[in-house]
Structure 1
């Protein structure tokens, strides 16, 4: 049997499809690095909030990005995210930052800067990177491209469960509306809209559990590793 190659694996898809969970678990199992592009946009959004920079000010956001140091440190339970040396792993998951990340990501100069950093991180392979334009813009030559999708209703319910909002109808409604707004922005933005790469394998996780999705992707990885 030939020695297995270390691959570049791209996992794209909308919010709530399960990308982060799948990428994190696969990375741990394979001994790969999990490059979470969304965490990088979240970190920039947080810095914009802290510096009172408008999410609509492309030039100021780019200057902010260029003066930032964003690091992803793999941990057992996912990435530890450092912004200018400070651990912001929890803060960037809060709702205001989540909303901000979607808004800062629409600016082409910001995306270009992020893509350059992300390519640097994955240059040596052995990486799983998840986001919304990994297979189309960041790593168009990735060894394996997965587009992980799910019905919007299913994705919204997953987000509600993640945020323990099942018994809070107002919070649940806000999460559903946030997800729909993000879908709209992600699919209609000028820079790298959310679409499957032409050679991506589309997996619908609406009726699949995490283990079923993992098994399918692991089979694909095994096939590509031997090629």
Structure 2
């Protein structure tokens, strides 16, 4: 079974997808983390974020992988654990530019589709229901207000020891929304058959309950 969870930045996709995957014992795939990892790869090698040829060459030399360590999913670039590094503000500001590169997307989409072929998956991102898994059994589109998403990112950054102002995060999220929804390749948009869930004002447990209800309806149909 394939479950696609899409939505804008900080709508709760990764948090909810992880919990749903655990509940169902499905494989969880954070596609956004993959694009962040490629962005970090470009930064580490001091490449321009639009240098598609050089970034793609680096990708061929540096595999991206997920591993579960102490019950938590970590992402690796080669042998380097980059789980924390990919969440730094510099990566958040530039990941949209890297994610808009056609060849980068083609490579990562192929990897994501391969994962989905081999197991029951819960996959989250911005184009899962429209491009990566267009035939997914369940498609969820999570949304939330910019103010709430900025608050979530602010609290998340604090837990990681990252200091950012709330106003800066709001501006960053608005910019990210615009870039993601206006890019030429695989823009952020809700699939026609996706079910929208507004998470504004809801806690994690409430959102999980709503999403699980949608999945159970599909399983029982």
Normalising by structure 2, we get a TM-score of: 0.93
After superposition, the C-alpha distances for 1:92-119 in whole angstroms (9 at most, x for unaligned) are 1111122232220011111111100110
Alpha-carbon distance change, 26 to 87 in structure 1, aligned in 2, over 3 angstroms: same
Alpha-carbon distance change, 111 to 160 in structure 1, aligned in 2, over 3 angstroms: same
- The aligned residue for residue 188 of structure 1 is 182
Normalising by structure 1, we get a TM-score of: 0.90
Alpha-carbon distance change, 216 to 76 in structure 1, aligned in 2, over 3 angstroms: farther
Q: CA deviation at 1:170?
A: 6.4
Contact map agreement 1:44 1:65 (CA 8 A) in 2: yes
How far apart are the structure 1 equivalents of 2:200 and 2:71? 24
- The aligned residue for residue 84 of structure 1 is 78
How far apart are the structure 2 equivalents of 1:31 and 1:118? 18
Contact map agreement 2:154 2:164 (CA 8 A) in 1: no
How far apart are the structure 2 equivalents of 1:113 and 1:93? 22
Higher helix content, 1 or 2: 2
- The aligned residue for residue 92 of structure 2 is 98
Question: Which segments of 5 or more consecutive residues in structure 1 lack a partner in the other structure?
Answer: 1-6
Secondary structure at 1:123's aligned position in 2? helix
Alpha-carbon distance change, 75 to 122 in structure 1, aligned in 2, over 3 angstroms: farther
The farther-off stretch of 143-152 and 52-61 is 52-61
How far apart are the structure 1 equivalents of 2:98 and 2:218? 34
- The aligned residue for residue 59 of structure 2 is 65
Secondary structure at 2:187's aligned position in 1? coil
- The aligned residue for residue 135 of structure 1 is 129
Q: CA deviation at 1:66?
A: 2.3
